[in-house]
Every structure is written in structure tokens, then in C-alpha cells.
Structure 1
């Protein structure tokens, strides 16, 4: 789900079309097998052995034991994170838009950010909010939580019980942090004097923009500064970050 579009999602699609896009990106973020498991729960259907084997492969598990419970955790984590994100965005936007419109925008962008989809109902992505700390931070946290992987989220949730993280979780967290820091530093220093991107912004906005682009480049596709105006070195960095992508069993793609 890279967020690449040939039509303006907010202007060229009806509300129904936008809802279809929202459902599709939610399915893509969770994975088809997790979604099918959810529907099986709702109708009270048993999960077959074949479905469990497919889930085992899609979630990178070594055995089929506990897969249904894992799918339940994934659905719960997703619902809680997206609802919290939507609530925060709603309170940011309810000062600007009507309550119903603010709620719609908040839900759409919370799901899009957590699923690392990059779809926005604003024509300029998130560029109009490049100076808003809360909106920037909310998007960044949603993208990171979606990108580190459901298995890592589960381990973090159970950290107090188990007392230790697996090698996979440690690698996912450390590499994500390293890539974000490297991307932030390079983008900040290369683009700080570019008047078409960060050059005309104040210092806090330069920090917000650099961190946001470092996080979103790997998996999501949102932007708060103009991508086409970036220096070639920055674009090359973004290509590398996109190629690396997100962690296994996450809502994002990559190697």
C-alpha cells in the first residue's frame, strides 16, 4: 500500500468511493487471512486446518498453535490504535471542520496511517499541517506502530509478563529506530537550506518535517514537504528507505 494515486482521493471520488478505498486499505493492512478469520468469528464458523496453515505462512509463524488467538490480538490492537488515533485527530480538526466532517477525516486518516497506506483526503497530503505538532506526532506514531509488525506489538504488550523480547522484536525495534534517526539527520541537513522544502520553515517545523519524512518514506507515503522539490541526494535516501520498508507481519511492505 504505497499511497500512489492517479486521481485526487478527496476530490475525484464520491464518499462511497472513498469508503470502498478505506475498506480495501484496511483489508490490505490487516491481511486477507486475518480479515477472513474476523468474519469467521462473527458468523461463528470454525477455522479450518487449511486456513490455519495459510495464516501460519502469512504471519510468519513456526506452528499453527495459537494462530486464532493471535488473529484476535491483531484485531484488538488494530481497533484500539486506530480509534485512539482517530480521537486525537478529531479533536485537532473539529476546530476547523464540522463535527461530522472532522470525524470522517479523522477515521479515514487514522486507518490510512496505521495501515501505512498513504491515502489522504487532502490534495496536498498533510502539507497544510506541517507546523502542527500533535497532527505530525499522531501520524508518526500510527505509521511506526503499523510498520513494526503485529508480532512486535504483541511482545511489547506482554513484555511485563515475559520479561524479555525475542531477537525478532529487538531487531525490528532497533533497526526501525536507526533508520528513522539516519533519515531524519540526512533530510534535515540536506533540505534545511532548500527554500522549496524546509528552507523557509522555522526550526521546530524543520524538525517536524524531517522526522515525518524519515518515518513515512519507508512504508506510508504521506508527505508534509514537497517531494518533487527535494534534492537528488534526499530522493535517493527515500528510495533506499522505501526499498527497505517495514518489518515482517506488519501493515507495510518491504524487504
Structure 2
């Protein structure tokens, strides 16, 4: 018993975080393979793929969720999405608090690592705030959407559809019970704004939401919060304009819509790739330029300590501003009157570099295992890494090897490439340094 506790104590946070996701995926696979979970038999590979996609809140699917999964299967999917989005460790700490148990130091460290917090203090309070925010945000959205959808589907289906899509949206999963995802609601501002508000807030990050709620003044917000809010507003506005221009005359997407509807759908398709995965148009019908731009948005992703993935918006901003400041001859990048530490810059460069290797490496392997168009494969890979779920409709055509490769990419995208490499490579501290020498670059 003592040795078990001692071993548990020495488990690093990356191992525990990765292990919690793996545990959810395994349990989800077993549950989805049960006959009671599906209307028709599915393979073990498809069960694994679906469980991985739900746990990593991706949304890629090899079959139609609404018709293939039974009510039991859909509830399993929802639980995986909720636990995967918020984090299993968060729920574990919540259960301890619920039963009046003391939250130990090790559990606080795990929570700190999960939400990338600098200090270990206030972790229990942070968990309380997160869970309260989740309950309020999802509860309010479910009520609003249920009232609206009850007119079309009746109260029973209206409530259930609302619960499913709200949980899927808030956790940036992108799973839908409708065969065409949300295409039938392309011109419906109520559905579009309720669901988009959920995945934008969920993708901003719980730490940012907590900071905004506790500090009413913009000047008092942390640099991270200022970067996330400003960056989100800017990138969403630019992405909406870009997609509106690129798709304006495309008759297969928004070309035949009124200007108001074009703007609405462009907005939705601009915010969804970071990293919600819902679609109001058929992704395969979009222009190649729009698909490339969408892949760029999927690669950036949302915020740290959120339900989103990708390299994260703050990572992208740090790298961009560091480059701009270097070109201008400014030795230390700064934003909003605050300097950015060199270790943050190096971490951002490491995340970006490793992410490029993961995406390009997996894309290279898929070009060997799958006989599918390169652009279509690229969309799937970027979507899997960003845990987005947008697809040009080829996911079901992947071989078993291809599906497993995508599962690995989704897993890496959710827990982060740095976490994966920390697991594979032992960190060591050097108490010495070698002499400097000139290296020619650029």
C-alpha cells in the first residue's frame, strides 16, 4: 500500500494528465462497442476513433452520430465530451470537495498543470469557479435553445437536442445529431449566436473568464487576458471578412444568400475552426483558398486552459510580436506595457515547432497509407491536431491505420505536443554552459 502511494506521489503531472485522457478513451471505446450503444454493429477501430474524437473534443466522425448511436451511445458520447473538455482531474477534485474530503497537494499540482497556472495557490477556488461557470453557461444556453427548438421539434426533442448541442458547443466538440451538422440553421441567427457564443467563451479559457469576472477594469486584467480578448476579437473579425470575400460568389456555399445571411454564415465559419468544428456550409464545397485559410485558423486554435486546442492564440501572438520586435531592433518583446519573458518566447517557439513536426509528419504518413487527395488529407490532419472536427467528408474512407494515426494526432493535439515530449524525453537541468560561437542564420 505504501509503495503504491509513493509511486502515485512520484507520477509527474504530464503523466497523470495524459493517463486521465487515455483512461477516458479506453472506457469510452468499451462502452461504445456495447450492442446497446449502437443501432448497428461498429468495428473496434470505429469505436476507438469515436471515443478519442469525443474525449479530445474534436468532433471528427466516421458515421452519422444521430442515426448510428442509440440514446445510450449518445449519452456516453456527451459524458466523454464533458469530461474531456473540462478535464478529468477537475471532476476528480470536484468529487473530493463534494464529499468533504481534503484536496491534497498533489491534486492541486495536477490542477495547476492542467490550467497552466503559475502559482499553486487558489486551485480549489479556481475549480469551484470553473464548475459554477460551466453550470451557469450551459444551463442558460440549454434553456434558451430548448424554448426556441421546442417550436420545431416539440419539448422532448427540443430539450434533448439543446442539451446535446450546448454541451458539444461549450466544450468545442462540434458533434451534432443532425446529418448535415448545422447547415439547415445557416440563416438562423438565434441558433448561430447561441452556439457560437458558447464555443467562443469555452475556447477563450476558464482562467480568462475568471479574471474578467473578478476584475472589472481592463487595466487590472492580466497580460494573458488582455492578449486573449484582443486577439480573439481581432482574429474573428479578420477571419469573417476574409471568408466573406473568398466565398462571396461561391454558389455551393454562400453565393446565393442575401448579404446579411452571407455575413452571418461567414462569421460562423470564421469562429468555428478555433476549435468548435460545427459547420453551416458543406466544407468540401468551399474554395481551396478558404480551406487553406481554415487550416491556418485550426492550427492557431483557442486559449490555454480552455476546451480548445491548436498551438493556442497567445502562442501565436507571442511568436508574431517577437518577430516584429526583432525586425524593429527591439531586444525584448512587449505588449500592453508588459514585457514578455524569454522563457515564454522559447516555450512558444518550441510549441510551434513541435506542432509543425506533428502535423507535417502525420500528413506525410497519411499520404503513404491513404489514397486520397492531398488537400483533403491536410484538412483532416489540421482538424485532428486542432481538435476541430471540420472535414471535407472523407473521414469514413480512411483505412484502419489512417484512423489510428488520426487518433494519435487528436490525442497529441488535446494534451499538447510539449506534454507528449515531456513524457518521452526526461528533462534535465544543466549547471554549466558551453562557450558561445557564431552561427549564421537566415
Q: Is TM (by shorter chain) over 0.5?
A: yes
| Structure 2 residue aligned with 1:232 | 288
Q: Could you tell me how far 1:160 is from its partner in structure 2?
A: 2.6
Q: Could you tell me how far 1:112 is from its partner in structure 2?
A: 0.6
- The alignment status of 1:209 with 2:257, answered yes or no, reads no
CA distance, structure 2, for counterparts of residue 181 and residue 161 of structure 1: 23
| Structure 2 residue aligned with 1:13 | 69
- The alignment status of 1:189 with 2:245, answered yes or no, reads yes
Distance 1:114 1:44, change over 3 A: same
SS of 2:152's equivalent?
coil
TM-score in terms of structure 2 length: 0.57
CA distance, structure 2, for counterparts of residue 222 and residue 121 of structure 1: 11
Pairs aligned (count):
255
1:33-86 Cα offsets, whole Å, 9 max, x none, are 111111112222211111111111111112211100000000000110011111
| Structure 1 residue aligned with 2:223 | 167
CA distance, structure 1, for counterparts of residue 210 and residue 60 of structure 2: 30
- Specify every segment of 5 or more residues in structure 2 that has no aligned partner in the other structure, as ranges: 1-56, 312-442
Q: Could you tell me how far 1:176 is from its partner in structure 2?
A: 1.0
1:159-199 Cα offsets, whole Å, 9 max, x none, are 23896211000001111111111110111011010000000
- Specify every segment of 5 or more residues in structure 1 that has no aligned partner in the other structure, as ranges: none
SS of 1:254's equivalent?
coil
Structure 1 counterpart of 2:80, from 20, 24, 32: 24
CA distance, structure 1, for counterparts of residue 155 and residue 71 of structure 2: 16
CA distance, structure 2, for counterparts of residue 159 and residue 62 of structure 1: 18
| Structure 2 residue aligned with 1:103 | 159
CA distance, structure 1, for counterparts of residue 245 and residue 68 of structure 2: 37
Runs of 4+ in 1 over 3 A off after TM superposition: none
CA distance, structure 2, for counterparts of residue 242 and residue 162 of structure 1: 28
CA distance, structure 2, for counterparts of residue 226 and residue 161 of structure 1: 41
